[in-house]
């Protein structure tokens, strides 16, 4: 049991208490960030004359050695230490002797852990962004290839109006684009350096907090030392952004599960992304989409958990805040993994375009266009709506579609109909004529695709 704070104690910590209190099993995940932060701290201490240049160089060499040995598996992070900070400091002292004991000058674990967590979250935001970008590229490819692939658009899970696959997938493109924007905003807002806040009230050493912040790529130091050590807003914001990403992935997964079912047959998930049944030989299950949908609950749980943990904490640091780590790490890893798997699944998935088009044709998705035809011939919309409603009823009774209904039947209900009604309600007219910005019409769709392409190239 290696502890940094034994001086004022006369008794050993109870073993159960030690284990309950220790965080090494999970905070070892940010050993890189801890070392990076310590290196910046000693550089600043030396610049301010608090450490000599020799001490600085020896500490930095020691820290680099620890990093290298951990990366190469020569130095194991074990539960012998209370947390990652103790592990690094103890190993440093072991390697370089007394100079190592000066590493923690003008610093507390409270501002140290606040820094480590920020560095970790910032690094992971960059990783998440890369994954989201790959997903957007995969979506854009599907959009480019399917500007003329007709499919039914739904409301209430009832066929509503025809759209295209490019348009449907484009809706998700917008969602994930917003998700990237959210991550970007969080990164910007959180990018201030807490180091130098000490335990809660700063320090009496002449630290140059601007310099440390600069060395670590922050926009500047935080402005209130009590807030610095007790702020976990950025964790809450991140978990909220991850929840939104998972919510979007989950909605898309739900659609893919439906589309992959025997009833829809809109897609065929690649064998590499499906699983079988141990008893039913015919089965090919969409487990990946189901797991992504399922794991959404886990990420929401992390958000609820941290919000609840933070709600009753008085200023400044309290040990409750150690609870931020496991759930944040898990939510990040879960979301990153889900985005990557989902990208693989949709990139290899086959779209059954004929089935999509046939489905768009047999659900009266062109009924609005039949009404619009009448409006274009001077019939008030409400009357047109009633007339087409009657036509739909006739078709349902006969078991046919509006395209198959003879002109005489049309004219029996309204003499306004002419032969050109069939062209007006054809699938291609219904889609091609929807040319308002954001609609499925191929011309506007191409414009949006072009804009999205530029957006992906710029980032």
Interacting residue ranges for ligand ARG, rule: CB under 6 A: 23, 27, 83, 109-110, 113, 317, 319, 321-322, 325
**Minimal distance in Å, beta carbon 107 to ligand ARG?**
11
- 359 noted as active-site residue: no
Give the active site residue among 277, 377, 401, 428. 277
Instruction: Name the residue nearer to ligand ARG (CB basis): 40 or 321.
Output: 321
Give the active site residue among 156, 167, 274, 278. 156
**Minimal distance in Å, beta carbon 321 to ligand ARG?**
5
Instruction: Name the residue nearer to ligand ARG (CB basis): 312 or 415.
Output: 312
Q: Is the CB of residue 50 less than 8 Å from the CB of residue 206?
A: yes
Q: Is the CB of residue 87 less than 8 Å from the CB of residue 96?
A: no
Instruction: Name the residue nearer to ligand ARG (CB basis): 30 or 364.
Output: 30
**Minimal distance in Å, beta carbon 190 to ligand ARG?**
17
Q: Is the CB of residue 296 less than 8 Å from the CB of residue 246?
A: yes
**Minimal distance in Å, beta carbon 176 to ligand ARG?**
32
- CA atoms within 13 Å, Cβ hemisphere of 12: 6
In sequence order, which residues have a C-beta less than 8 Å from that of residue 454 and are 6 or more positions away?
none
Residue 313 backbone class (left: φ over 0; alpha: ψ -120 to 50; beta: rest)? beta
Instruction: Name the residue nearer to ligand ARG (CB basis): 331 or 345.
Output: 331
Q: CA 208 from chain center: how many Å?
A: 36
- 156 noted as active-site residue: yes
Instruction: Name the residue nearer to ligand ARG (CB basis): 318 or 429.
Output: 318
Q: Is the CB of residue 136 less than 8 Å from the CB of residue 49?
A: no
SS3 content of the chain, % helix, strand, coil (to 5): 65, 5, 30
**Minimal distance in Å, beta carbon 319 to ligand ARG?**
6
Burial 237-257 (b: 16+ CB within 10 A, else e): bbbbbbbbbbebbbebbebbb
The distance in angstroms from the start CA to the end CA of the chain is 48
Catalytic residues: 156, 277
């Amino acid at each position: 049991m290696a502890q940094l704070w034994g001086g004022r104690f006369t008794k050993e910590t109870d073993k159960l208490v030690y284990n309950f209190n220790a965080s090494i099993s999970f905070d070892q995940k940010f050993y890189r960030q801890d070392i990076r932060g310590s290196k910046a701290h000693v550089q600043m201490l030396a610049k301010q004359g608090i450490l000599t240049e020799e001490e600085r160089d020896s500490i930095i060499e020691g820290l680099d050695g620890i990093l290298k040995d951990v990366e190469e598996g020569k130095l194991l992070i074990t539960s012998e230490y209370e947390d990652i900070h103790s592990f690094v400091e103890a190993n440093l002292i072991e390697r370089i002797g007394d100079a190592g004991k000066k590493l923690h000058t003008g610093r507390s674990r409270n501002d140290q852990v606040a820094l480590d967590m920020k560095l970790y979250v910032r690094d992971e935001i960059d990783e998440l962004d890369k994954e989201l970008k790959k997903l957007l590229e995969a979506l854009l490819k599907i959009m480019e290839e399917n500007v003329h692939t007709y499919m039914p658009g739904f409301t209430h899970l009832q066929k509503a109006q025809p759209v295209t696959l490019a348009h449907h997938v484009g809706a998700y493109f917008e969602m994930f684009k917003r998700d990237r924007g959210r991550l970007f905003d969080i990164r910007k807002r959180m990018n201030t350096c807490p180091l130098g806040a000490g335990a809660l009230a700063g320090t009496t050493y002449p630290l140059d907090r601007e310099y440390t912040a600069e060395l670590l790529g922050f926009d500047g130091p935080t402005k209130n030392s009590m807030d610095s050590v007790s702020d976990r807003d950025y964790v809450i914001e991140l978990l909220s952004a991850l929840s939104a990403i998972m919510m979007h992935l989950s909605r898309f997964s739900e659609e893919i599960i439906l589309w992959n079912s025997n009833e829809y047959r809109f897609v065929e998930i690649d064998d590499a992304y499906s699983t079988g049944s141990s008893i039913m030989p015919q089965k090919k299950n969409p487990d990946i989409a189901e797991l992504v949908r399922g794991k959404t609950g886990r990420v929401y749980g992390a958000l609820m958990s941290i919000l609840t943990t933070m709600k009753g904490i008085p200023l400044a640091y309290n040990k409750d805040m150690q609870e931020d780590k496991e759930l944040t790490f898990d939510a990040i890893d879960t979301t990153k993994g889900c985005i990557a798997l989902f990208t693989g699944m949709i990139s290899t998935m086959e779209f059954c375009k004929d089935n999509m088009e046939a489905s768009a044709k047999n659900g009266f998705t062109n009924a609005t266009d039949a009404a619009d035809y009448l409006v274009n011939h001077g019939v008030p919309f409400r009357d047109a709506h009633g007339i087409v409603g009657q036509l739909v009823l006739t078709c349902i009774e006969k078991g046919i579609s509006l395209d198959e209904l003879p002109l005489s039947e049309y004219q029996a209900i309204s003499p306004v109909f002419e032969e050109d009604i069939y062209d007006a309600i054809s699938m291609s007219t219904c889609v091609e004529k929807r040319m308002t910005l954001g609609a499925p019409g191929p011309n506007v769709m191409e414009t949006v695709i072009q804009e999205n392409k530029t957006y992906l190239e710029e980032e």
